[in-house]
Amino acid sequence: MNEKFSPWEIIENAKHAEAEGGLTEAARLYEEAIKQSPLNDFPYSRLMIIYRKLHQYRDELRVINTGIKSFEEDYLSKKHAIAANKKITRISRAIMERMGLVTNLNKQVLQLEPIATWRKRKAIVARKVKRGK
């Protein structure tokens, strides 16, 4: 794909291809959009659906794993930036504990989206791949 198109233009072209039934072309375009904008969850979600429709579960699992990794790394980098300010960290921790979002063992109870949804789907797809579908 020519780099002169923005990720948003690529996504619009992918949506059009998908609407016209060109799932393979749409998948190619969504893959390109992810390369250009790896923290946009829309192309990941559409790719997962397309690969599911095409019964390409290994590709769906690959997209899920890539998405989870990208978003977790982004969240982790933001978490470290916030942790540099001890006052913000202390206040954030107190709020999260009051809301029941973390346990007293520092384990996060609430999983951030889209990671939570993708983890659920990953379990299903991993079983399908294991069964050889």
* 104 within domain boundaries: yes
Q: What's the CA gap between 23 and 47, in Å, rounded?
A: 9
* 39 within domain boundaries: yes
* 41 within domain boundaries: yes
* 103 within domain boundaries: yes
HSE-up of residue 18 (Cα within 13 Å, Cβ side) = 20
* 82 within domain boundaries: yes
For residue 91, the model assigns a pLDDT of 84
Cα distances (angstroms) measured from residue 114 to each of 22, 44, 68, 89: 26, 10, 8, 24
* 53 within domain boundaries: yes
What CATH number does residue 57 fall under? 1.25.40.10
**If the chain, 133 residues long, is cut into consecutive pieces of 10 residues, what is the mean pLDDT of each piece?**
80 98 98 96 97 97 96 80 73 77 58 86 95 81
Q: Work out how many domains the chain is built from and give that number.
A: 1
Q: What's the CA gap between 92 and 68, in Å, rounded?
A: 24
pTM: 0.76
For residue 1, the model assigns a pLDDT of 46
Which range marks the domain in which residue 107 is found? 7-131
